[in-house]
Chain A
């Protein structure tokens, strides 16, 4: 009987010790080190998966190992692996996000579903330590971060496309030799943008087009896009009121991979904007 009691006590002690111990890297379903921004949408693991960056609470409540309130970014970056990182306190947010995504909540516009998701979103709304304003700010920050991450994804993709196009153009120019020569790099070889486009446009009427995809219209997070797009940090006018030509130039500058040419394109953009504004 004594032995049994001692055994139970020992087991209880071990269990308590395990719970109280600080999170360690890796491991199975238990603790894990918070490290990489959570992926928010891309799969992740199944039950027991943890968001990789602590969110502001969660259904698990407080307790040992509670992390500071850093919102998850929710970007569609690759999953961080087995999904067994983080600690139990953070089980709310991204885990549910992943579940919703992988469960096929495709294109849902259902408010009820969105609200359900929202309630689980990072557990922000259930964090007892936060006021409503703080929660709002945290969500807004999370949205901003998500937008920035998406910008990076898009920029990477655009950069890759531009690099491929450059390589193709260079290859075509080299095979054609003198026929194309130097102009292959600048405008002639890159149909659909830059100078050729601009000349064509200027020969017609600029038409007073508006900004990006014509869709932006209103406020734009300049900091995020501007920095990410590789725009030099000096005197780049806002792209909010860009017409088609300006927009093309801006996009070309953003996508250009050659720093020298990029600089020239930005100059051209600035000059064009200055002229357009009189």
Chain B
């Protein structure tokens, strides 16, 4: 009976040890799986979304123009001088400066192709009084991932999209060939989602509201240029919402003058948009190529870093486990102890090898990261001049226009004065 109890106790003890070992092994395996899970680069085919196309004619009075403002580059100001941190986050300021226009142009092209909108233009932030204004900020932009935050509001101040995040992984199909890259942007899905959201917001407006948006845009423009003639047609609430009070007569001479000026304003916007389009066209191939190669380098770097991490951690765990995990062999069981020693030795050797391999992989990851940096440097060098040029031209034209508008403001005020002052008051005494 004693013997049976002793056997039971012995087995019980071993069962506890066994279960503890199993738990450790399970944890180790889980850790391994988690770590290796990071290494797996799952290449999922992206769905090729298509923006909703117009299927019927939209009345001219309800067709809204859209201004896509150059995106905010999203470079944190605090990090502007911290190159290491920027590199760690894969933010390359010059590339971002270019992307602020390039991505805006992509969105514009997507919107244009839907046939849902009037004129869609990429404009600098100084442009106002367009029916719908879309702004965006780049959160993440690499060859493999794009994340944006986008807002949109109409001329009446109504918010259509409120700083909504958009994120997408690259559609690798677009990187396969030059033709594929030309046919579809790797992040086209993001632009499609934004376009569809804008459309959904527009569809919530009644036809009357859409007409009002256009009228308010025109009257706000008129009010800016000729406040004396156009005060009282619209009013602003405390929350910045504009509403229509009344409309000027269709043949109001002041309105006709404003429309003539607004047409010039539209030409300025067209010209500015032309700069951006030209900029985008010029960089189309090199930017696509940069994205593709940088994606490969980023993928390589990430993979190497993850592998390095896995190998180092598992190797270290193997070495430590081999040394510190207690033996279950009895002191008299030589076979068991020999096997145990052999396993420990193998564990230490294997673990050390894994750690060494991990260190090597870290080195590979560093080299790959350097490659990403060099690619970005090269692209930055290529675009820097063009960015400066397009920014310079934009500034020059907006400056000229600004100056011209001041002149027109004065003329319009003078005309208003002549039209409103009584003849006797306007004519000086002899």
Contact = CB atoms under 8 A, between A and B. Distances in A.
B115 A206 contact: yes
Contacts of A200: 113
A69 interface: no
Interface string A100-116: 11000111111100110
Nearest to A200: B113
A78 to B, nearest CB: 11
Given A191-B281, A210-B63, A251-B270, A74 B413 contact: no
Nearest to B285: A172
Interface stretch (A45-53, A82-90, A118-126, A261-269): A118-126
A142 B410 contact: no
Contacts of B17: none
Nearest to A118: B414
A41 interface: yes
Nearest to B128: A107
Residue from A208, A213, A251 having most chain B Cβ neighbours under 10 A: A213
A74 B119 contact: no
Contacts of A191: 277, 281, 284
Nearest to B421: A132
Interface string B53-88: 111111110011100000000000000000000000
A92 to B, nearest CB: 12
Nearest to A74: B407
B274 A100 contact: no
A139 interface: yes
Interface string B386-422: 0000000000010010111111111111111111010
Interface stretch (A9-17, A29-37, A214-222): A214-222
Contacts of B131: 214
Given A105-B406, A206-B115, A136 B419 contact: yes
Given A125-B426, A154-B271, A214-B63, A139 B411 contact: yes
Interface in A133-179: 135-136, 139-140, 142-143, 146-147, 150-151, 153-154, 157-158, 161, 164-165, 168
A277 interface: no
Contacts, number: 221
Contact of B397 (A97, A106, A157, A214): A157
B406 A106 contact: yes
A158 B278 CA distance: 12
B255 interface: yes
Interface string B237-268: 00000000000001000011101111111111
Nearest to A142: B411
A131 B116 CA distance: 51
B118 A107 contact: no
A205 interface: yes
B409 A109 contact: yes
B404 A146 contact: yes
A41 B411 CA distance: 12
Interface of A: 40-42, 74-76, 97, 100-101, 105-111, 114-115, 117-119, 121-122, 124-126, 128, 131-132, 135-136, 139-140, 142-143, 146-147, 150-151, 153-154, 157-158, 161, 164-165, 168, 191-192, 200-201, 204-221, 225, 241, 244, 247, 251
Interface of B: 53-60, 63-65, 112-119, 121, 131, 218, 221, 223-224, 227-228, 231, 250, 255-257, 259-271, 274-275, 277-278, 281-282, 284, 397, 400, 402-419, 421, 423, 426-428, 430
Closest 3 CB pairs of A and B: A213-B266, A118-B414, A114-B413
Given A106-B402, A216-B263, 11 more contacts: A101-B403, A109-B224, A114-B413, A118-B413, A139-B414, A143-B412, A191-B277, A207-B57, A207-B116, A214-B119, A217-B259
10 contacts: A101-B407, A119-B414, A135-B418, A146-B408, A151-B267, A154-B268, A200-B113, A205-B55, A207-B118, A244-B118
